[in-house]
Chain A
Amino acid sequence: MNQVVVTGMGAVSCLGNDVPALWDGLIAGRCGIAPLTRIKADDYRNKLAGQVAGVDEPPGNDASVRFLLRAAAEALDQGGIDEGARRKIALVLGTNFGAMAATERLLSGKADNADVALAEGVTGCVAGRLRLGGAQMTLSLSCASGNAAIGRAADLIRSGRAQMALAGGYDAISDVVWAGLCSLRAMSATAVRPFDKRRDGTIFSEGAGLMLLENRDHALARGALPLARFLGYGTSSNAFHMTHPDEDGAGMARAMRGALQDAGVAPEAVEHINAHATGTPPNDRLETMAIKSVFGERARSIPINGIKSMLGHAMGAASALEAIATVMTIREGVIPPTIGLEESAPECDLDYVPRAARKARVGVALNNSAGFGGCNASVLFGRWEI
């Protein structure tokens, strides 16, 4: 099978609208969560969110489309992709809700932006605007969507069906999205504190994260500089409950083991884990159990972070943004911190890189994600070395 490398990345998040802004914010331990303004906060129980600011072009377009176009432009630019090369690029997008504000308008009988009212329309619209000529694919594994899209896009390249793919996830806050998330009562009124004793929920956010994935030989032949290697991924289902995690973290463990097996990498090689770490009491406890079950005693010596403490939970974009952070950690030798972690809960007894970023040489790193419906997706990245 072909080897896959990452040759470009683009990010839009509540920490800023490109990868440098995201990375600077993460290593500084800056929190992007603020009072909700995108929709009328008075109507909702939860009034804090991680929101994107300043991505207003092209006007008249749905927020999801705007986020994606901005992130894609950055990833294609970093990848050194000219107009001609765009003809070969596939687009693989994952999302929870597509362009939900546009969907709401369609459901209210309004016709503007109706062409993106379903997720497949968003993919087609973005591919059209960017003049990407490759295959289009749309998938949805709720909050594991970004990782699932990156993994499936890599499959297309490994099997020779594509040479290059722009892949990742996105979502935007809207009335229906926020009403639904508030109704589940899984959100904190104050902060996301992964693994902390006081953790009491997550806080949702929005954004887009995209990676340009490429056949290694293709990248080298055109003189592109790989940022990292994509090593493998795994997906799984808890097969347990639609909104509650399974009782022992076995589903997340299956996804992690799947990624290791897919990559042909031994657990001993993993030097960092970017955790799903939502800050909800069950997730962080079960993810800790899952990590222990996969890595055994070695789990205690693997630095793990939960960057939703800064980014919030960006739904379909979350694992894609975290994948970008994982690649940056491998490249820069810095692990962003888990902020808000003052005192670890007794059931969360691993090294979560609390409070401040840490320097560390990381050769292989795992990015975890999980979502509603009980789905999980983990992706493994490795350092690019010639």
Chain B
Amino acid sequence: MGQGVVITGCGVLASNGIGREAFAAALAAGKSGIGDLVSFDASALGREKAAEIHGFDVAAYLRSPKNYLDRNSALAFAAAEMALRESALAVPDLAREYGLSVGSMGGNFASLALFHAKLAEKGPRFAPPFLFPHTYYNATAGLLSIEYGLSGPHGQFCSGPAAGMEALAYAVDCIRWGRTDAMIAGGVEAFGESLLSYCASKGWLSPGISLGACGTAAPGCAFPGGEGCLPFGLVANGTILGEGGAFLCLESADGVRVRKGKARGRIRGIGMGACAEEAISGALRDAEVLKTEAVFASASGRPDDDREEAAAITKILGNRPIVALKGLVGETLGASGPMNLIAALTALESDMLPGSGAEYEAFPVNLVRAPLSKTVNSILVNAGSGKPGAWVSVVVTR
């Protein structure tokens, strides 16, 4: 498999905690980030719930002042800066040609919507030229590479919930195949009206779960008739949209030794495929292991995907404990895979598996409902949707 790849830094912003410590504390406490949707009026779309990040100011994370950053770029800047601070990797280091890989399904959709609105208002001849470059899917990646001098391998992935993990997989491949020694890689997704409308049009969102379908009123599952995010739930009928940023600093094991950096976890294997089963079996094969001790699932409450993923996990891994993070943070799309991976790393470090946040009737899988003290040494982390679709699985160990 070539060079060993280790994680030396993580940065995370989630609706239930900003920063590694707050995120870890939220997971340990079973704190949900799902609540009333407040950033705009979404009643026309029939949405009342979301997993939004509150109290976030990007200024604390910027190395140089910026005239304009949309929320997608701002979340990415904050997460990348946190990851770099934790890793203590010196950047820019132009001679070393470190790389960057970003995943985001909607990219800078908010900037595009703003650009579109300006055109509608004033006509094409008055299109704001400063805004246009920010509408590209790869705008965030471009801005980050400039900020940190990341001049090496460069990727921007925009699949669905797998996008962030596709970015991570590209980074891992680049390091183990010797293209570079270090990559900043992760995913980001900003909650916004355009993205919500797209997800609603695709039928991904829970239209509300009927009264009495769920045992108790729980975070993210407001009854009667409220929208619910119930990963692997028998009555789940869609997800709740969230937002987040999750970046990792990945380095070659040799490179970290040389610079006397600290490895916080190891990427042992990557699998990619058209369905959960292909991705999971590919990752285990790549890691040269038969099983892992726990699974951090992609499950988001979208019934078809959850059913397929549950069946694949059961078939390949048996009755391993399954963590369904999206019960706490909603569907964060491009951010979800790397966020799941950072949660898994936190579990390896803290000997605690987070719960999915609510009591409801679920598929017959070993779903971790409430925070569970348990020492595990290896975790399989999934991200994906569709069959055929885009799925990525990662095996991470201490």
A236/B127 contact (C-beta < 8 A), A176-B112, A241-B146 known: no
Q: How far is the CA of A183 from the CA of B201 in the complex (A)?
A: 31
Question: Which listed residue, B133, B137, B273, touches A119 by the CB 8 Å rule?
Answer: B137
Nearest chain B residue, comparing its CB with the CB of A374: B142
Which residues of the partner chain B approach A181 to less than 8 Å between Cβ atoms? 132
The reply to whether the CB of A294 lies closer than 8 angstroms to some CB of chain B is: no
Q: Please determine whether A127 and B388 come into contact, CB atoms closer than 8 angstroms.
A: yes
Q: Please determine whether B154 and A117 come into contact, CB atoms closer than 8 angstroms.
A: no
Q: How far is the CA of A111 from the CA of B386 in the complex (A)?
A: 22
Q: How far is the CA of A375 from the CA of B201 in the complex (A)?
A: 32
Q: How far is the CA of A136 from the CA of B115 in the complex (A)?
A: 29
Q: Please determine whether A236 and B153 come into contact, CB atoms closer than 8 angstroms.
A: yes
Which residues of the partner chain A approach B202 to less than 8 Å between Cβ atoms? 114-115, 121
Which residues of the partner chain A approach B142 to less than 8 Å between Cβ atoms? 237, 242, 372-375
Q: How far is the CA of A137 from the CA of B167 in the complex (A)?
A: 11
User: Which residues, 189 to 238 on A, are CB-close (under 8 Å) to B?
Assistant: 234-238
Nearest chain A residue, comparing its CB with the CB of B129: A183
Question: Which listed residue, B99, B124, B274, B278, touches A43 by the CB 8 Å rule?
Answer: B124
Which residues of the partner chain B approach A178 to less than 8 Å between Cβ atoms? 124
Q: Please determine whether B129 and A184 come into contact, CB atoms closer than 8 angstroms.
A: yes
The reply to whether the CB of B372 lies closer than 8 angstroms to some CB of chain A is: no
Stretch at the interface among A66-74, A151-159, A266-274: A151-159
The reply to whether the CB of A248 lies closer than 8 angstroms to some CB of chain B is: no
Q: Please determine whether B133 and A45 come into contact, CB atoms closer than 8 angstroms.
A: no
Tell me which of A114, A138, A374 has the highest count of chain B C-beta atoms within 10 A of its own C-beta. Answer: A138
Which residues of the partner chain B approach A45 to less than 8 Å between Cβ atoms? 125
Q: Please determine whether B136 and A373 come into contact, CB atoms closer than 8 angstroms.
A: yes
Q: How large is the interface on A (under 10, 10 to 19, 20 to 34, 35 or more residues)?
A: 35 or more
The reply to whether the CB of B17 lies closer than 8 angstroms to some CB of chain A is: no
Question: Which listed residue, B100, B136, B150, B198, touches A142 by the CB 8 Å rule?
Answer: B136
The reply to whether the CB of A262 lies closer than 8 angstroms to some CB of chain B is: yes
Question: Which listed residue, A95, A120, A132, touches B388 by the CB 8 Å rule?
Answer: A132
A141 shortest CB reach to chain B, Å: 6
The reply to whether the CB of A29 lies closer than 8 angstroms to some CB of chain B is: no
Q: How far is the CA of A319 from the CA of B63 in the complex (A)?
A: 34
User: Which residues, 103 to 120 on B, are CB-close (under 8 Å) to A?
Assistant: 105-107, 109, 112-113, 115-117, 119-120
Question: Which listed residue, A120, A176, A375, touches B105 by the CB 8 Å rule?
Answer: A120
Question: Which listed residue, A95, A124, A135, A236, touches B154 by the CB 8 Å rule?
Answer: A236
Q: How far is the CA of A104 from the CA of B142 in the complex (A)?
A: 24
Which residues of the partner chain B approach A44 to less than 8 Å between Cβ atoms? 124-125
The reply to whether the CB of B76 lies closer than 8 angstroms to some CB of chain A is: no
What 0/1 pattern do residues 124 to 158 of B give for CB contact below 8 A with A?
A: 11011100110111110111011011111111111
A156/B153 contact (C-beta < 8 A), A118-B105, A135-B388 known: no
A135/B272 contact (C-beta < 8 A), A44-B125, A106-B201, A179-B127 known: yes
B225 shortest CB reach to chain A, Å: 24
Q: How far is the CA of A189 from the CA of B169 in the complex (A)?
A: 43
Q: Please determine whether B123 and A180 come into contact, CB atoms closer than 8 angstroms.
A: no
Which residues of the partner chain B approach A118 to less than 8 Å between Cβ atoms? 105-106, 109, 158, 198
Q: How far is the CA of A90 from the CA of B392 in the complex (A)?
A: 14
User: Which residues, 98 to 140 on A, are CB-close (under 8 Å) to B?
Assistant: 98, 103-104, 106-108, 111, 114-115, 117-121, 123-124, 127, 132-140
Q: How far is the CA of A374 from the CA of B136 in the complex (A)?
A: 12
The reply to whether the CB of A148 lies closer than 8 angstroms to some CB of chain B is: yes
Which residues of the partner chain B approach A117 to less than 8 Å between Cβ atoms? 198, 201
Question: Which listed residue, A96, A138, A242, touches B157 by the CB 8 Å rule?
Answer: A138
Nearest chain B residue, comparing its CB with the CB of A88: B274
The reply to whether the CB of B77 lies closer than 8 angstroms to some CB of chain A is: no
Which residues of the partner chain A approach B177 to less than 8 Å between Cβ atoms? 262
Q: Please determine whether B163 and A120 come into contact, CB atoms closer than 8 angstroms.
A: yes
Can you name 9 A-B residue pairings with CB atoms under 8 Å?
A43-B124, A106-B197, A107-B116, A136-B390, A140-B138, A141-B138, A152-B170, A161-B271, A236-B151
Apart from A44-B125, A242-B146, A258-B179: 9 A-B pairs, beta carbons within 8 A: A44-B124, A114-B201, A137-B390, A139-B166, A140-B138, A155-B173, A179-B124, A180-B115, A180-B132
Q: 4 smallest A-B Cβ distances: which pairs?
A: A373-B142, A140-B137, A114-B201, A179-B124
